[in-house]
Amino acid sequence: MSKMPYKIIKRVSDIILSLFLLVLFSPFLLLVSFLIWLGDRSEICVRDPLRIGLGGREFRMYKFRTMIPNAHREILENPEYEDLKKKWEGNGNKLKIEEDIRITKIGRLLRKTDLDELPQLVNVLMGHMSIVGPRPMYKDEVERHLKNNPGDEKYLKNILNVRPGITGLWQVSGRNEIPFGKRLKMDAEYSRQQDFLLDMKILLKTPYVVLTRKGAYE
């Protein structure tokens, strides 16, 4: 199948599925939104950092806030988190749930179940994302990687040719167990293939990965 019909059919499928799931989960989404707001009377979804999407355009990826307000800016600029920042940077911008003091009580539950990802259905409906695709990346993590691995820029060009996804090849293949460079190669290969069979395989594997927490950095 040529890529144009694939893209059209996939976009229509994304709209139908995201609408259905948003309606289905709307009571839960409203409840969680209220509980997050009740915790500190602050924003419900994460504001920054922005993610890189189709064509290299940055967008706000909707995700339930599981940390204190402005957590990303806090770890970068607040001296109170200097030790945490060193550990975070030394481990590829990742921290285990138990060691990250910025995470809220309800945030721990949302992270351990991946339920904080549900608001991304809004991104799918808006056209920022797809249900299946490469995981959207932060601009700064890409820049840091390319500074030391300039040859990997060719993979990035392939990745930015498709909409990023809520789930994808990286998520069902090991997630945080996979180094960033290998992740780029995987997502670039997915972007070159673009076929329904691969999308279906990823979708079918996703519930197992979520339930077993395979590759989750906890």
| Structure confidence at residue 206 (pLDDT) | 92
Taking only the tens place, the pLDDT of each residue in 146-170 is: 999 999 999 999 999 999 999 999 9
What is the pLDDT confidence band of residue 177, given thresholds at 50, 70 and 90?
confident
Residue 83 lies in a domain: no
Tell me: pLDDT of 176 over 90. no
Q: What is the pLDDT of residues 82-114, one digit of tens each?
A: 999 888 887 767 788 888 989 999 999 998 888
The number of domains in the chain is 1
Domain contains 156: yes
Structure tokens at 182: 């290998």
Can you state the angle between helices 180-193 and 139-148, rounded to 10 degrees? 110
Q: pLDDT band for position 52 (50/70/90)?
A: very high
CA 50 vs CA 127, 131, 141, 149: distances in Å = 16, 19, 12, 22
Place of tokens 């979520």: 210
pLDDT of residue 217: 57
Determine the 3-state secondary structure of 52 from DSSP: strand
pLDDT at 130 over 90: yes
Within a domain: 21? yes
Other beta carbons less than 10 A from residue 64's beta carbon: 22
Whole domain around residue 27: which residue ranges? 3-66+104-211
The pLDDT value recorded for residue 218 is: 53
Q: What is the pLDDT of residue 141?
A: 85
* Mean pLDDT for the chain overall: 90
By the 8 A CB rule, do 211 and 172 touch? Answer: no
**Domain assignment of residue 147, yes or no:** yes
User: Does a structural domain hold residue 85?
Assistant: no
* pLDDT bracket for residue 2 (50, 70, 90): low
pTM recorded for the entire structure = 0.87
**pLDDT for residue 15 is more than 80:** yes
Helices 105-113, 3-40: crossing angle, 10 deg rounding: 160
**Distance from C-alpha of 168 to C-alpha of 186, rounded to nearest angstrom:** 10
Work out the average pLDDT over 193-199.
Answer: 90
Q: How much is the pLDDT for 48?
A: 74
Asked whether residue 79 is domain-assigned, the answer is no
Name the H helices within the chain.
3-40, 71-77, 82-90, 105-113, 120-126, 139-148, 153-159, 180-193, 196-212
CB 10, CB 130: distance < 8 Å: yes
Nearest by Cα to 213 from 182, 181, 183, 177:
177
Q: Is residue 139 part of a domain?
A: yes
pLDDT higher at 2 or 58: 58
Contact partners, residue 74, CB within 8 Å, separation at least 6? 68, 80, 81, 102
Question: pLDDT tens-digit profile of 202-213?
Answer: 999 999 988 887
Residue 97 lies in a domain: no
pLDDT for 17 equals 96
Distance from C-alpha of 16 to C-alpha of 31, rounded to nearest angstrom:
23
**End-to-end alpha carbon distance in the chain:** 40
